Structure 1
Amino acid sequence: MSALQKATIVGGGVIGGGWVARFLLNGWNVSVFDPDLEAERKIGEVLANARRALPALYDKVMPAEGTLTFHDDMGEALADAAWVQESVPERLDLKHKIHAQIDKLSPAEAVIGSSTSGFKPSELNEHGGRVVVAHPFNPVYLLPLVELVGNAETCAKASEILRSIGMYPLTVRKEIDAHIGDRLLEAVWREGLWLIKDGICTTEELDEVIRMGFGLRWAQMGLFETYRIAGGEAGMKHFMAQFGPALQWPWTKLMDVPEFTDELVDLIAGQSDAQSGHMSIRELERLRDDNLIGMMRALKKTGSGAGGVLNTHEATMPEPAIDDLPVTVDRTIPQSWTDYNGHMNEAHYLEASAQATDRFMAMIGADADYVAAGNSYFTVENHMQFLDELHAGDRLKITTHVLQGEGKKMQLFHCLYGENGQLAATVETLLIHMDLNARKTSLPSEAVAAKLATYAQEHAKLPAPRGVGRHVGLKG
């Protein structure tokens, strides 16, 4: 999708703000219509979190941000929009009113999505209209899933757009109240309310059960694949035969709903305040985002779950021009990379440079397929200079200068830049090409050698980076 594409967000709350960030940080221009006088401030805070979090998922440079504008006139906001996302409160009468205006004022070819978590397309369009459900999950700028429900042709068009901004569109086969995700969450929510009301556990204890147990499995395998493993070598049939009869036992209260009395509301709210009231909502959001980034980056290694979506999206991001120093890492520094001083630990300077090397290898064709075919470059020597401090949340950018690229050798010089563009470290690294099957040094493929040689020739025209050829203890 072109960076000149425009998305219009109608309703700038938590979900609307997340949509703004998802489109804007993927190079789209975004216009916002929301009569709330605090909308610009609220969206600005969501954007601050997104700018800190989303680039941390990728090792390639994300597109340049689009332009963000706020409008008092809906027609002005909708002009030339390719995507319109309605994220107003869950009131059907309000949605009907807003959709009628959007339908009248937006371009005929624009996709019109509703963030509704419960209403069906037939309800949204009962007075006419062309809205499809495009239900995301919070935070929209990090979590890839979007449930699409509605006209098949529109959903197909919507899927293409959503994939281009790194999301995972899932088209629901039949419309149903609350779609798929929220129906599952509703079941857990209802049972959780009963467990707390009946004094079985507190809100914190219930959350511990999820995050210390099956929540970790669900992140990578979901529900049914998790249970397939639980069936052992006999698989899903054995699991269902063993545990299926339990469905007849009176374990759950899913058909009953506890009455929302003042006492129950006070009980839940009081326990929730005791559990996490010591942190502000913004602090909790940043904690959530840091943890999601860590888990999703781990999933990138295997391509499982959300990691596969990230890998696919990252592969579509363009490579930098050969005649300039490529940016091989552009990410925010996670909390897990810092030590007791709050500074980035020295081991992670090397880890970051290794990511830069891996990224550069992929750029010249020595990618995962190349390695799988039995070829790769192995590091034989590194020299690192520590020049400045880096901290959690800082934006880390690495450029790579090719010093040598001929025969079996590849010599790279990585410059690590911090939040304000200061040079924080340099890493000079020498690699040798290997035949992984023979476990011996070897020449790279002709295609890889040619691409590497082109970089080396172009970079030879640039000034030599300061610090090349240093050794430990060298003065000056």
Structure 2
Amino acid sequence: MTKTAAIIGGGVIGGGWAARFLLNGWDVRVFDPDPEAARKIDAVLANARHALPMLYDVALPAEGHLTFHTTLSETVMGADWIQESVPERLDLKHKVFQALQEHCDAGAIIGSSTSGFKPSELQDGAARPEQIVVTHPFNPVYLLPLIELVTTEKNPPALITRAKDILTSLGHFPLHVRREIDAHIADRFLEAVWREALWLVKDGIATTEEIDNAIRYGFGLRWGQMGLFETYRIAGGEAGMKHFIDQFGPCLSWPWTKLMDVPELTDELAQMIADQSDAQSGHLSIRELERKRDNNLVAMLRALRQQGNAAGRLINQHQQTIKTTLTDGPPITSARRVIPADWTDYNGHMNEGRFGQLFSDAADAVMTLVGADTAYIAGGLSYFTVENTISFLAEAHAGEHIRVETRVTQGEGKKLRCFHEMKRESDGALLATSDQFMLHVDLKSRKSCDPRADVLARVVALAKKHKEA
């Protein structure tokens, strides 16, 4: 049964939440008095539809239904999850919670995107404080997995567990902050770095671009896949974390940083930062910067996927929960996906090697269909490609939705032959074909052998059905 999310506040963060829910098959209702809300959310959705599906090698669930509403009551009635993303004013949030709790289900989870307020402050005066938790995301919400889930003793364990399960089902990583604190966890780090950056600009040590370069070409990449402590553990060498602390700990007393002091954010300093930022990035629109950011993140996250580490591991785990249905056909729809940005080359279209990878994925789907799945392979049997003839007929570009249709053209004894056609979803254009011949192999001897009887029977039946069609 389709679940429903109510989004209260349709700005950058609210729009990101809407996209994350919608692209994971939830129906989404949006309330925002801004007459431009629909246009703004459509712009966020355009980027999300471009980027999020590229993280996965299977098609995401069918999109849910998006609607915009003029009253809170209409928006939240019957909703399973309510996400509040209104401006950071505690009095406003209290008014919103009071109004929505008059109409929402008592069992609904109410999450707040607040970056600064503690959940106890949000729960104060609420009719049902046990419903309200902090679920602080990071922009873009539809790509970055971290959600700081901050709770109090008023939140029942069952609700906390349910919140974690729902966030995980969306591909998020719920970091449970068990003891509330101002600004939670991550923003406290960000504030420290932000303060030091302001001083470096004010004192003329570095420009905004130089500071960004120091982060993105250095420790930012390390932090992106290892975090802080694991990175420093490696810095300690074979002796580990204790050696690092013994070696570098004394520097904490040196007058390096100015974290205990804050520069006055004068008009002059604000203008200096704005001018430098304009010089750095002013030639690109915000939408172009967002697209650049999203493509970069997709490439990094997909690289982490290949290694099975950090956020990449989360995406792999989430992909396992996305259900795909294979039928005998003919043809078999053996692959459906969006072409990721990192599959394109210097010519701007999909690299020929990626066609081979896609057809290989299609062959894996056929193997699964006949019973030669991961368990079968773990048992020591599989099919190996012996010959593959690929014809490239048209260009394929990043962001395009494609499918592969497969017919089994030979299935007898050790032999399995498939003919794949890669097509663009939008117009059905034929982009490439593959004539792939495989032999069944014993993985221990690395020699060809007969398939297991049930697998062979399935292969023979498919070949017969496809030939007669």
More deviation, 88-97/431-440: 431-440
For residue 212 of structure 1, what is the aligned residue in structure 2? 217
Matches within 5 A, 1:343-362: 343-361=349-367
Give per-residue Cα distances to partners, 1:278-312, cap 9 Å, x unaligned: 11111111111111111111111222111111111
Give per-residue Cα distances to partners, 1:404-423, cap 9 Å, x unaligned: 45544332332211243212
For residue 320 of structure 1, what is the aligned residue in structure 2? 325
For residue 348 of structure 2, what is the aligned residue in structure 1? 342
- Give the CA deviation at 1:74: 1.2
Aligned residues of 2:372 and 2:455 also touching (Cα < 8 A): no
Partner SS state of residue 323, structure 1: coil
- Give the CA deviation at 1:343: 2.9
Give per-residue Cα distances to partners, 1:174-199, cap 9 Å, x unaligned: 11111111111111111111111111
Matches within 5 A, 1:433-452: 433-444=440-451, 446=452, 450=454
Structure 2 unaligned residues grouped into runs of 5+? none
For residue 242 of structure 1, what is the aligned residue in structure 2? 247
Task: Give distance in 2, aligned partners of 1:272 and 1:364.
Answer: 57
The two structures, once aligned, show a CA RMSD in angstroms of: 2.3
Q: Within the alignment, does 1:454 sit opposite 2:461 as a pair?
A: no
Task: Give distance in 2, aligned partners of 1:321 and 1:50.
Answer: 27
- Give the CA deviation at 1:370: 5.9
- Give the CA deviation at 1:329: 3.5
Matches within 5 A, 1:240-389: 240-324=245-329, 325-361=331-367, 375-389=381-395
Give the counterpart letter for 2:267 in structure 1: D
Aligned residues of 2:339 and 2:402 also touching (Cα < 8 A): yes
TM-score (norm 1): 0.90
Distance 1:329 1:284, change over 3 A: farther
For residue 162 of structure 2, what is the aligned residue in structure 1? 157
More deviation, 194-203/417-426: 417-426
Q: Within the alignment, does 1:428 sit opposite 2:447 as a pair?
A: no
Q: Within the alignment, does 1:392 sit opposite 2:398 as a pair?
A: yes
Aligned residues of 2:90 and 2:122 also touching (Cα < 8 A): yes
Task: Give distance in 1, aligned partners of 2:169 and 2:270.
Answer: 42
Distance 1:14 1:362, change over 3 A: farther
Structure 1 unaligned residues grouped into runs of 5+? 466-476
Matches within 5 A, 1:4-19: 4-19=2-17
For residue 138 of structure 2, what is the aligned residue in structure 1? 137
Task: Give distance in 1, aligned partners of 2:273 and 2:441.
Answer: 60
- Give the CA deviation at 1:462: 4.1
Query: What is the aligned length?
Result: 460
Give the counterpart letter for 1:346 in structure 2: E
Partner SS state of residue 157, structure 1: helix
- Give the CA deviation at 1:256: 1.1
Aligned residues of 1:55 and 1:62 also touching (Cα < 8 A): yes
Aligned residues of 2:6 and 2:83 also touching (Cα < 8 A): yes
Aligned residues of 2:54 and 2:341 also touching (Cα < 8 A): no
Aligned residues of 2:408 and 2:419 also touching (Cα < 8 A): yes
Matches within 5 A, 1:176-187: 176-187=181-192
Aligned residues of 2:370 and 2:458 also touching (Cα < 8 A): no
Choose from 41, 44, 69 the match for 2:42.
44
Task: Give distance in 1, aligned partners of 2:7 and 2:257.
Answer: 40
- Give the CA deviation at 1:336: 3.7
TM-score (norm 2): 0.91
Task: Give distance in 2, aligned partners of 1:220 and 1:362.
Answer: 32
Aligned residues of 1:320 and 1:326 also touching (Cα < 8 A): no
